[in-house]
Structure 1
Amino acid sequence: MTKRNLNEDDPLDDFAGRQMTLNDVTKKVHVAGSGPAVIVMTEMPGISPHVARFARWVRDAGFTVYMPSLFGRDGAVPDAEEGMAVFKRACVSAEFRAFAANASSPVTVWLRALARRAHEECGGPGVGAIGMCFTGNFALTMMLEPSMLAPVLSQPTLPLNNPAGIEMAPEELAAVKQRLDREDLTVMAYRFKGDRFCTAQRFAAYQEALGDRFIARELPDSAANRETAPFFAQVVGSPHSVVTAHLIDEEGQPTVAARDEILAFFRQRLANRQPNKAS
């Protein structure tokens, strides 16, 4: 993968920008690669150069990446003032449930349709997805779509006002748990131990709801990159973004090990797994 300056806006010129209309809603989706589909959902405040770098790692691992534009300015370095404006707009948007535990964000219906379309276009056993921060829980809700096989939750942050809350309707959570058990599937999840937005209480709530189907990874705060863009330094203010802004791209680093485990998870579920006849 070509090295890019992560402190400069990323033109995303190695992705094809597609306007995709699903359920009568049109969003831009950046697509690249070949092989089974993986949906990379951006963290707040948008598709930063670090998010794009992670998407390229997924692409180079042998997958077709679908990276939807959900908020913010695509490719922009996360500025504190602009990032806060994006965050505030998302919090009041009808597409998201930023402050509601036990309720799924409406945008997840569109994302499930995206997973279905991506599977139709790419084939294979199914689709993977990773959500980060504001979108962190979305990959779990997307398990209501039968083509979804490999959900990854990276520092799931919603609901913002309930550290132990799960941003998902109880009946949907129960349906996903039944599916995980029935099809022998698991959910991978990642956080830093000192993350003040994705707390230990939240992971405990997931563990209680999903049992041993929820595989949690908690990284030490010392593993986080300290040199971050203004939004993360001034607004986030704690280790948070496991595979993007706070990843240290050096061999032997815990964040790189987390990235590699996620890529291996996608390979195991999407490249090697046989389709489940019951699904």
Structure 2
Amino acid sequence: MTTRPLNRDDPLDDFEHRDILLLGRTHRVYTIGSGPAVIVMSEMPGISPHVARFARWVAGAGFTVYMPHIFGKDGAVVRMPGTLFTMIGGCISRQFRAFQANESSPATLWLRALAAEAHKECGGKGVGAIGMCFTGNFALSMMLEPAVLAPVLAQPSLPLNDAAGMHIAPGELAAVKARMEAEDLTVLAYRFEGDKYCQAARFAAYENALGDRFVGKVLPDSAANPDSPMKNPHSVVTIHLIDEAGQPTAQARDEILDFFKMRLSE
């Protein structure tokens, strides 16, 4: 994979820029790679160079990445005040219901439709999905789409006002758990031990709800990249990842790629 600078805007010129009609609305989606489909959902404030780097790793592992525009400026380095405006917009948007426990973001409806379309286009056993931070829990709700077989929750941070809250409607959670039991599926999740936005109480709530179908992994704060502009250890596979052999964050990335291979490869 060609190394791209992480401190400059990424033109995403190696991705195909597509406009896909989903549930009556057109959504910009960036695709790259070949093989079974994986939906990569960006963290706040959008598809940063770090998120794009992760997407390229997924493509390099033998998958077709579908990376939808959800918020922010695509390819942009995190900057103020634009980042602040994007975060405020996300917090008040009806598409996300950022402060609602026991609710699912309406955005997951078109994301499930995207997963179905990706499976139709790519074939294979099914589709993988990873959400990060603001979108962290979306991959779990997306399991209501039968094509989604490999959900990953990276530091799921909603609801913002309830550390022990789960951002999924009870009926959907019950349906997801029933499907996991029937098809012997699991959800993989990651967080840093001292993360202020995804605390131990949230993982405990998911473990209580899903039992051993929830595979939560907690990394020590010392594993976070100290050179990251965000001092709170948070983004496991993006800005806080240290891309060196033996680093816990690099191992987490490789575990996620192996999880996709296990679930999606023929």
TM-score where L is the length of structure 1? 0.94
- Say whether residues 1:244 and 2:226 are aligned partners: no
Give the equivalent residue in structure 2 for 1:178.
Answer: 178
Question: Which string of whole-angstrom CA distances, capped at 9 and with x for unpartnered residues, describes residues 200-231 of structure 1?
Answer: 000000000000000011000000002124xx
Cα distance in structure 2, aligned partners of 1:26 and 1:105: 18
Look up the SS of the partner of 2:176 in the other structure.
helix
Cα distance in structure 2, aligned partners of 1:78 and 1:228: 11
Between 119-128 and 72-81, the greater mean CA deviation after superposition: 72-81
Cα distance in structure 2, aligned partners of 1:23 and 1:160: 28
The one of 253, 259, 268 aligned to 2:262: 268
Give the equivalent residue in structure 1 for 2:15.
Answer: 15
Give the equivalent residue in structure 1 for 2:4.
Answer: 4
Give the equivalent residue in structure 1 for 2:127.
Answer: 127
Cα distance in structure 2, aligned partners of 1:246 and 1:222: 10
Give unmatched runs, 5+ long, in structure 2: none
Cα distance in structure 1, aligned partners of 2:28 and 2:70: 8
Report the AA paired with residue 248 of structure 2.
Answer: P
Give the equivalent residue in structure 1 for 2:163.
Answer: 163
How far is the alpha carbon of 1:190 from its aligned partner? 0.1
- Say whether residues 1:217 and 2:221 are aligned partners: no
Give the equivalent residue in structure 2 for 1:140.
Answer: 140
Cα distance in structure 2, aligned partners of 1:156 and 1:25: 26
Give the equivalent residue in structure 2 for 1:276.
Answer: none
Give the equivalent residue in structure 2 for 1:275.
Answer: none
Give the equivalent residue in structure 2 for 1:106.
Answer: 106
Report the AA paired with residue 249 of structure 1.
Answer: D
Cα distance in structure 2, aligned partners of 1:201 and 1:40: 25
Number of residue-to-residue matches in the alignment:
266
Give the equivalent residue in structure 2 for 1:152.
Answer: 152
Moved over 4 A (4+): none
Report the AA paired with residue 130 of structure 2.
Answer: I
TM-score where L is the length of structure 2? 0.99
Question: Which string of whole-angstrom CA distances, capped at 9 and with x for unpartnered residues, describes residues 96-154 of structure 1?
Answer: 11000000000000000000000000000000000000000000000000000000000
Look up the SS of the partner of 2:110 in the other structure.
helix
How far is the alpha carbon of 1:81 from its aligned partner? 1.9
Report the AA paired with residue 261 of structure 1.
Answer: E
CA RMSD of aligned residues (A): 0.7
How far is the alpha carbon of 1:26 from its aligned partner? 1.4
Cα distance in structure 2, aligned partners of 1:164 and 1:2: 40
**Sequence identity percentage:** 67
Cα distance in structure 1, aligned partners of 2:184 and 2:208: 18
Give the equivalent residue in structure 2 for 1:255.
Answer: 249
